[in-house]
Chains A and B, each alone.
Chain A
Amino acid sequence: MMKIKTPKKGRVKRELDKRAPKLVETGKKTLILQGTKTSGTLNCVLSEIYHLKKGGAVRFTRKNDNIRPFESGGETSLEFFSLKTDCSIFVYGSHSKKRPNNLVIGRMYDHHVYDLVEVGVENFKSIESFTYDKKIAPRVGSKPFIAFIGEGFENVDELKHLKEVLLDLLRGEVVENINLAGLDHAYVCTAISSNKVYLTHCALRLKKSGTVVPRMELVEVGPSMDLVVRRHRLPNEGLRKEAMKTAKDQPKKKVKNVSSDAIQGTIGKIYIPDQKVGEMALPNKAKGVKRERREAKNKEANEHASKKQKEESE
């Protein structure tokens, strides 16, 4: 037997609607978590990634002993967390003798692991170690510029993959309109060698250039680190095809009260609220006043009018 279950509260329904598959997706949430063992560097890296992605990230601080993204069966709880938190990118930190300062960045499709990249963190410099003018500090949630430098990103498979994953992780929300005054930070990724990428976070300083376009100046604000690619797993071809599907025709939102005519052009309908004549306040006819006083008032008014008339007649 089956039972139909629907949420009892409106808030729950709205939350479920938010999580439903959409025709046009706006942004992916990031889940940041760690394994049983981490290092100080890694803790710092994870918390700073969380700091950079604040608003679109969920941070788990407990140890997770049954997450091994690359092994079969080790992604079960990861997929469960993804379902619970509605995150589709995860950053998983672990530290071992074989793979020190290990960071696994992966993406999810329909709450199943889509692809994985494993990188080692080296030469990490935290946000605190940079000194700069706090006025130019990037604001939380603003859309960043992303720059990829180096031929490695095109020639080497791993780096090509890493580029895609980093772009997905860093780009933030997909927006239609952007405020030019709100552009204040940039990520710069440089391929140093065939398996090493230098990633840094910079603030922007806009200088006058005499034209519309200001001259850009990058100021390093941190964090910055070297990412050494270790293992990676590409999505299988079928899944990739499925995930790359896009909505061809977006449904047009019906505009209310506007119609178009071949001869008259666009016609708009305007509704004017009722004139509330009955509720209008009228002078000297207040019902709340006692009858005697009301009558006295009326009398006075009449006398006043007659006096005026008299004066006029005189």
Chain B
Amino acid sequence: MEMETETQKPFQVDMGNLLAFNPFHNFPSLPTSRDELVKECIQEGTKLVQAIADSIFNLPSTEDADGPLVKLPTPTTKLPREKHLPKPKPPTKWEEFAKKKGIKKRKKDKVVWDEQTGTWKRRFGYDRVNDDKDIPIIEAKMTDEPGVDPFAKRQDDKKKRVEKQEKNRLQNLKQAAKIGALPSHVQLAATALPITGTQAPPKKVTKDELGNVAGMAATSTASGGKFDRKLPGEKPAKKQGKHRKFLPVVEGSGIGSREKEQTENVLNKLISKHSHEILNVDKAVTMYNVKKEKKARNKRNQEGKSSSATNKLKPKKQLHKKNGKKGPGSSKKGKAK
């Protein structure tokens, strides 16, 4: 906006910013003293301010209790924005689908007439109409599976529906975040690192753990914390670390025998732990077999001493071949095996 003044030099006036600019002024010779310079600057400034005032005071004004109000025109000097322009929110998946199918939003009443109770009830929320929870009896159907609690199933189904909706919401918000059109009050925070196995998220130290550590630190002085000065209101340490005790190695009675007892205890524990390994099953089986065989041989020797020589040489082959003839002998062998 430009306007003429009595000096015939146009000033640039931006009423929106209450700004005036005189681009033609220059000092023919810089004033020597500071005071003169200031004086001239203020003189020039006065002219410019007067120029702004001229245009502003001539704007149509409305009277207010505090003074005349004037509507300022928009600033002409362009200045950069502080933040980017707000981006439009992308349509959600449902909105896209609804548009494709031509589904339009319908307004619904907030309250609905409930015929069961004969009252007006909310459509959603607490004390709502047609609430599943209000139905005390569900009639059994032929298709019902036995062993399924229909009430629990209904509750479970509802939970699943809610979870699904939450998942869809997150998906839509992620899409919005990609464009940078997330609503100002919503933040998407990563709950875990996308790559698992690299680094576990730092665990928060619990109050108990902290107390234990503090207790151990308090007793880790030379005196075991005995001569430390207590702070006012300090509680006794929660968990004092275990201290090792060394028993005398020299044998004797009383405390002297304690050491032996202790080591024996440890040994016994170890041995009992591995006691099932001490019994060698294979060896035991063979030993048993050999004993049995010996017994059987002795018996046979007593039965017939004449055939003993041939029997000794090749006992098994003959036994198999003479299965039918030597009934009692063979049956005994079979039993032994």
Query: Which residue of B has the minimal Cβ distance to A87?
Result: B82
Given A7-B185, A22-B86, A245-B85, CB of A151 within 8 Å of CB of B49 = no
A-B contact pairs, 27 of them (CB 8 A): A2-B191, A4-B186, A16-B184, A16-B185, A17-B185, A19-B184, A20-B86, A109-B83, A143-B18, A145-B18, A145-B53, A146-B18, A147-B22, A148-B20, A149-B48, A152-B26, A164-B77, A167-B79, A177-B72, A180-B57, A180-B61, A186-B49, A188-B42, A193-B30, A212-B58, A216-B50, A235-B80
B67 to chain A: which residues have CB within 8 Å? 179-182
B26 touches A177 (CB 8 A): no
Q: Which A residues from 279 to 298 make CB contacts under 8 A with B?
A: none
B81 touches A243 (CB 8 A): yes
Given A190-B44, A198-B37, CB of A17 within 8 Å of CB of B79 = no
A102 within 8 A of B: no
Q: Tell me what chain A mostly uses at the interface: helix, strand, loop, or mixed.
A: mixed
Q: Count of B residues near A, CB < 8 Å?
A: 63
Q: Which A residues from 238 to 254 make CB contacts under 8 A with B?
A: 240, 242-247
Given A145-B52, A198-B37, A214-B57, CB of A4 within 8 Å of CB of B173 = yes
B53 to chain A: which residues have CB within 8 Å? 145, 183, 213-214, 216
CB distance from B7 to the nearest CB of A (A): 13
B288 within 8 A of A: no
A150 touches B25 (CB 8 A): yes
B162 within 8 A of A: no
Query: Which residue of A has the minimal Cβ distance to B18?
Result: A145
A244 to chain B: which residues have CB within 8 Å? 78, 80-81
Q: Count of A residues near B, CB < 8 Å?
A: 79
Select A2's contact among B17, B21, B34, B188, beta carbons within 8 Å.
Answer: B188
CA gap between A225 and B304 in the complex, in Å = 139
Query: Which residue of A has the minimal Cβ distance to B86?
Result: A21
Given A16-B185, A180-B70, CB of A145 within 8 Å of CB of B20 = yes
Select B80's contact among A16, A190, A240, beta carbons within 8 Å.
Answer: A240
Given A192-B27, A202-B45, CB of A224 within 8 Å of CB of B66 = no
B81 touches A3 (CB 8 A): no
Given A143-B18, A148-B22, A150-B25, CB of A13 within 8 Å of CB of B83 = no
CB distance from B120 to the nearest CB of A (A): 18
CB distance from B75 to the nearest CB of A (A): 7
A6 within 8 A of B: yes
Select A149's contact among B22, B52, B77, beta carbons within 8 Å.
Answer: B22
CA gap between A186 and B46 in the complex, in Å = 9
CA gap between A114 and B84 in the complex, in Å = 12
A216 touches B37 (CB 8 A): no
List residues of A whose CB falls within 8 A of some B CB.
Answer: 1-7, 12-13, 16-17, 19-23, 25, 28, 88, 107-111, 114, 123, 143-154, 163-164, 167-168, 171, 174-183, 186, 188, 190, 192-193, 198, 200, 202, 204, 212-218, 220, 224, 235, 240, 242-247
B57 to chain A: which residues have CB within 8 Å? 180, 212-214
B1-24 contact mask (Cβ, 8 Å, vs A): 1 or 0? 000000000000000111111111
A235 to chain B: which residues have CB within 8 Å? 80
B186 to chain A: which residues have CB within 8 Å? 4-6
B45 touches A182 (CB 8 A): no
CA gap between A7 and B183 in the complex, in Å = 12
Please indicate which of the listed interface residues B18, B81, B191 has the most CB atoms of chain A within 10 Å of its own CB.
B81
A215 to chain B: which residues have CB within 8 Å? 50
B17 touches A167 (CB 8 A): yes
Give the 6 A-B CB pairs with smallest separation, nearest first: A181-B67, A20-B184, A188-B45, A243-B80, A147-B48, A21-B83
CB distance from A291 to the nearest CB of B (A): 36
B237 within 8 A of A: no
CA gap between A245 and B57 in the complex, in Å = 31
B174 touches A2 (CB 8 A): yes
A245 touches B81 (CB 8 A): yes
CA gap between A198 and B25 in the complex, in Å = 14
Given A109-B81, A213-B57, A235-B80, CB of A145 within 8 Å of CB of B49 = yes
CB distance from A311 to the nearest CB of B (A): 56
Please indicate which of the listed interface residues A114, A146, A183 has the most CB atoms of chain B within 10 Å of its own CB.
A146
A174 to chain B: which residues have CB within 8 Å? 16-17, 75
* Additional pairs, 20, CB under 8 Å, beyond known A145-B48, A177-B72, A179-B67: A2-B191, A6-B185, A16-B185, A19-B184, A21-B86, A110-B84, A144-B18, A145-B20, A146-B18, A147-B19, A147-B44, A148-B48, A150-B23, A153-B23, A171-B19, A179-B70, A180-B68, A192-B37, A200-B42, A213-B58
Select B83's contact among A22, A144, A180, A188, beta carbons within 8 Å.
Answer: A22
B75 to chain A: which residues have CB within 8 Å? 174
A220 to chain B: which residues have CB within 8 Å? 38, 42
B190 to chain A: which residues have CB within 8 Å? 1-3
CA gap between A178 and B34 in the complex, in Å = 35
CA gap between A251 and B79 in the complex, in Å = 21
CB distance from B54 to the nearest CB of A (A): 5
Query: Which residue of B has the minimal Cβ distance to A144?
Result: B18
CB distance from A11 to the nearest CB of B (A): 12
Query: Which residue of A has the minimal Cβ distance to B193?
Result: A1
CA gap between A43 and B86 in the complex, in Å = 38
A5 touches B189 (CB 8 A): yes
CA gap between A17 and B86 in the complex, in Å = 12
CA gap between A17 and B183 in the complex, in Å = 9
CB distance from A27 to the nearest CB of B (A): 9
